[in-house]
Every structure is written in C-alpha cells, then in structure tokens.
Amino acid sequence: MAIGVYLTFRILDLADMTAEGSFPLGGAIATMCLVKGVNPFIATLAAFGGGLIAGLVTGFLNTKLRIPSLLAGIITMTGLYSITSRVMQNAANVSLLGKETIFSIAQKWGLSRNNAVIVMGLIIALLVIALLVIFFRTEIGLAMRATGDNPQMSAANGIKTEQMKILGYMISNGCIALSGALLAQNNGFADLNSGVGTLVIGLASIIIAEVLVRNLPIWGRLLTLVLGAIIYRLILALVFQMNVEPADAKLASALVLVVCLVLPNFHLPRNLKGGKNHARSTKD
Amino acid sequence: MPEVLKIKNLHQTFESGTVNENRVLRGVNLDLEAGDFVTIIGSNGAGKSTLLNSIAGTIPVQEGQIVLNGTDITKLPVTKRAKNISRVFQDPKMGTAVRLTVEENLALAMKRGQRRGFRPGVKKQDRKFFKKQLAQLGLNLENRLDTEIGLLSGGQRQAITLLMATLQRPDLILLDEHTAALDPKTSITVMELTEKLINDQKLTAFMVTHNMEDAIRYGNRLIMLHQGKVAVNLAGEEKQSLTVPKLMELFQKQVGAEVEDDAMLLV
C-alpha cells in the first residue's frame, strides 16, 4: 500500500485521497469473490482491477474536468464508500471464515499461519516491485516520471501529461486495492470502514523510508518502502503496548506520524557537518 | 528558400475586458525561411516571451494565424507541436527532469513527438549515441550518463537541454533567453554551443535575448519588438553591419515615433 501511495505522492507529486476508498474496495472485491469460491489469486487480481478503475475516475476528474487533485480524490473516495457497500451487499463487514485465501494456500505448503502471511506477503510485494521497476524503465514509465518531475518540459517533449497522470492514478490505486485485498484475507473479513487512515499509514511509511535512507534509485526506494511500512507498524505496536485504549488508536497513530515528520527536521543541523548530505536534502 | 514559419496578424490580450486589460501582442506579422536564425530583442513587456509561447502553444492564440511548414498549427496543443518544435527555457531547471538521469532525459527527448510504448526507455544502442553527442559538448559529461540531472550545474543542464532540443531534428527551435540565468563565462560557452548545433544541423531558430551584443553577433536576422509590434526587422547586409549604438539609435527612433503617436491620440 505504501508503494501505491508513493506512486502518486512522490512520482506524480500529488496527494491522492482516493486511497482511503480504494483500500476497502479492494478488500471487498477480493472477499466477495472468495465467498463465491473464486480462485484466491484471481480474486486478488480482481481487487487490483477495481483499484485501477477507481484511479481512472480520480484521474479523469483531475485532468479532464480540471478538479484539483485533492478534491478529486475526496470525491472519488466518498463515492467509493457507497460502491464498496454495494459490492459487500450492504453489509458493514463480510467474513471469510472457512474460505480459501492466498494465505491458506501458502499454509498448504507446510508453513505455519504466521509464516504463510510473511512469505506470501513478501512474494507479492517483491512481484509488484519488480513489475513496477521494469515498467518505470520503459518509454511510458520514463514519460510518467518526467511528468511528475517537470510537466512543462514533458509537454514540450510531446508527452501527453494528462494521460500519464491518469495512468499513474490507476496503477497507484490498483496497488492500494491489492493491499486492501491482502489485508482482508489476512484479517479473515472485509470491513467497509477499513480505509480510514490509509493515506496516513502510506505517507508515514514513505517518510520513514526516506529518513532511513536518502537518495536511492527507484528499485531501492520501493524496497525501503516495505521496510518503512514494517517499522511504522512496529512503532505503533510499541505505542499500543503502553495500554492505549482502542478509541484513542487513531489519535496515537496520527501523533506517531507527526513525530516521524518532525524528527528529520531536527536531524538537519547535525547533517551540516556531513556537508554533501545536507546540500542534497535541501535540494529535495 | 522554403518558408518554415509564417505568423499572420497575431494578437494576444491578457485579462481582456477588465481594467487590467493588457494588449501584449498587437498584430505581429513574421516570415521565417528555412535556415533563418532570428534573434529577438525588446524591452520588458514588449511581448517577446508571449510571442514565443504562442508559437510553442503554451498560450492559446486569440487572434491571428501561425503556419508551420504549410500546416496551420494555430489551434494545436503543445504536445502535438512538440514533434516539430523544440524549446530551451530560460530557467535551466525547466528544460530537464531533475530526478531523472542524464541518459533518461536524453532518451525522453529522442522520442519527442513520437509514440511511447513498453520498450525499454534507454536502449543499449542509444547509450553509445548519447555518449558521442555528450562528448561534443566538451563538458566531460559523456561519463555521467547515470548522474541525476539535479546534481549538475546550471550551465551543464542548459547544454544538455540544448542537446535534447536538437537530438531529433526540429523544424524550428525556440530559445527563450536561455543564457540569462548563467554566469558570463558559462553563458558564452552555451551560446557558442548553440551556434554550433544550429549551424551543424542548419536549423531554423528563434532566439529571445536581453543581450544586444548577442543579438547582433549571432544569427542572420534581428527583430525588435516594441509594444507588441515588430518595430525593427533587419536581415542580410543590414544585420551584418549592425552595432550596438546603431541599434540603440534605431530603437530610440522607433520609441520616439510611438510616443508621438500616443500623444496625438491623447489630444
């Protein structure tokens, strides 16, 4: 999911709120497919497809109808709530009890429940990263990165920047819906309200990853995003060990994000000694 | 000589219908023949950048017509014009994508105006070609294909932007005060490089500049814009024998005349 958020946030330089809608949508699509007995891999892929469409809508609103990106994302997110609810046949959550998921398939390979989640999760994350790295090296991939970097120059070089943005929105939300599908299968149920805070988690992972290691080529960055997401989870787990009440959970995670955002700023003066590092970070 | 660019009665008005109405271009007529290297000067607000932006397509044309190689491009969007028109901006940051590497930027420019597909962005055979092209800049950039553009200096970036603009031969190259943001020494290097690239490929070029000496030294034609009109249009012998004082004199004459006109209107 962090990867999905990264795509729009850093590559396209947009904050895409659609994430909060495409995440539960992905979970819902995958779950409903599984309930109907569809192959878990196909169900997960279908979730990815749902995310693509969600991204297409936001992209269309943003570029063709010229609605500012933040607003376009919120509009899609709001609309998606109803659509996800429809997909789940008006239930607030749907259980996957006893259904086959991609994790239960991994368990059949003789792995324990926990290991199955880790192994399957890693395989899919690596697969997504590999595909994205290949994609970003193609002509279209280069054009997309250039669009986020310098739209005017891209247009001057004949890149159709609007189409590139729409494609970026699509892939990004596809990844987010995919992660929604994974989480639903891990939790054993799809939840209509699971999207709240998605964007925050994604951004936190990105920021942690960027604080840990600066200036990476794109494949390295995508890998560290996974690490960033795990670390964010660990920090949250630590916070929750201090007996935080469930009702305060979101507040706690928002505070953790604030700390993550602010910490690197306090680090900067120390970097002055490093010279080169500092120069680079200010350029960013 | 075949005609490359024809501008007919171009008008551009900003914020029309308000008190701030600003008639930037008031009927510009211009013909460029193949191989013409035109320098454009004019004071601030004379309409130089607006003229260039109108040709590139970044601002829609309100009145008039722009014809490139016999095709009316007045209503075409920037991306469609990109196939035939390349551009170097004033700000070195503008011409390149800073988070992409040198070779990735060059690869983008190689495909200017063409379809982009799922083939690798930077191809092996391209790399050799890029190296050769970078070597002729004489800036030791040929071994820095993998460097992010953002880490290069303004002069290096501007040189690469120039190269990008000529990698695929454009019908017309637009240079928008492309040395104004550079230090004097780098500025000379980049200007010499500009002349070399334009001469080598016999390009048709349009160069906006604030530097009168550059305007006189380079190119075979000189145009001065004043209050949205072509005030001075010199070519051939006249252009060759031009000096800064002569140009100033022409300018004064032109401005003087304009002031008189305005005074008449006020009466």
Picking from B187, B211, B170, B202, the residue whose alpha carbon sits closest to that of residue B69 is B170
Are A209 and A139 part of one and the same domain?
A: no
Q: A176-205 pLDDT, tens per residue? A: 899 889 888 888 888 888 877 777 777 778
pLDDT at residue A207 in the model: 79
In the beta sheet, which residues pair with residue B63?
Answer: B11
Are A177 and A217 part of one and the same domain?
A: no
Which of A13, A145, A153 has the most B C-beta neighbours within 10 Å, making it the best mutation to test the interface with B?
Answer: A153
Contact A143 B89 (CB under 8 A): no
pLDDT at residue A10 in the model: 64
Question: How high does pLDDT run on average in chain A?
Answer: 81
pLDDT at residue A282 in the model: 36
**A51: pLDDT strictly greater than 90:** yes
> Is B3-95+169-246 a CATH 3.40.50.300 domain?
yes
In order, the DSSP letters of A5-54 are HHIIIIIS----TTHHHHHHHHHHHHHHHHHTT--HHHHHHHHHHHHHHH
Are A253 and A151 part of one and the same domain?
A: no
Contact B79 A143 (CB under 8 A): no
Contact A160 B79 (CB under 8 A): yes
Reported confidence tier of residue A46, pLDDT bands at 50, 70, 90: very high
**B164: pLDDT strictly greater than 60:** yes
Are A171 and A280 part of one and the same domain?
A: no
Are A178 and A201 part of one and the same domain?
A: no
Q: What is the CA radius of gyration of chain B?
A: 20
Q: Which of A195, A212, A243 is the last residue of a domain?
A: A195
**A272: pLDDT strictly greater than 50:** no
**B172: pLDDT strictly greater than 60:** yes
Q: Which of A140, A164, A195 is the last residue of a domain?
A: A195
Question: How high does pLDDT run on average in chain B?
Answer: 83
Q: B72-96 pLDDT, tens per residue? A: 888 888 888 888 888 898 888 888 8
Across A39-53, A98-112, A270-284, the highest mean pLDDT is recorded for A39-53
Q: B228 in the Ramachandran plot: left (φ > 0), alpha (ψ -120 to 50) or beta?
A: left
**Is B49 or A250 the better-scoring residue by pLDDT?**
B49
Are A4 and A20 part of one and the same domain?
A: yes
Are A191 and A201 part of one and the same domain?
A: no
**B259: pLDDT strictly greater than 70:** no
Eight-class DSSP state of B169: P
**Cβ-based contacts under 8 A for chains A and B:** 88
Are A51 and A91 part of one and the same domain?
A: yes
Identify the contact set of chain B against chain A, taking CB-CB distances under 8 A: 56, 58, 78-80, 82-83, 86-87, 89, 93-100, 104-105, 107-109, 111-114, 116-122, 150, 164
pLDDT at residue A275 in the model: 37
Collect all residues of chain A within an 8 Å Cβ-Cβ radius of residue B104. Answer: 142, 145
* Domain residue limits at A274: 197-284
pLDDT at residue A284 in the model: 36
Are A175 and A269 part of one and the same domain?
A: no
Across A41-45, B143-147, B237-241, the highest mean pLDDT is recorded for A41-45
Query: Looking at residues A154-175, what average pLDDT do you find?
Result: 89
Are A247 and A157 part of one and the same domain?
A: no
Are A173 and A57 part of one and the same domain?
A: yes
**B6: pLDDT strictly greater than 50:** yes
Domain count, chain A: 2
Percent of chain A with pLDDT over 90: 21
Are A24 and A118 part of one and the same domain?
A: yes
Residues 131-160 of A with CB under 8 A from B: 135, 137-143, 145-146, 149-150, 152-160
**A25: pLDDT strictly greater than 70:** yes
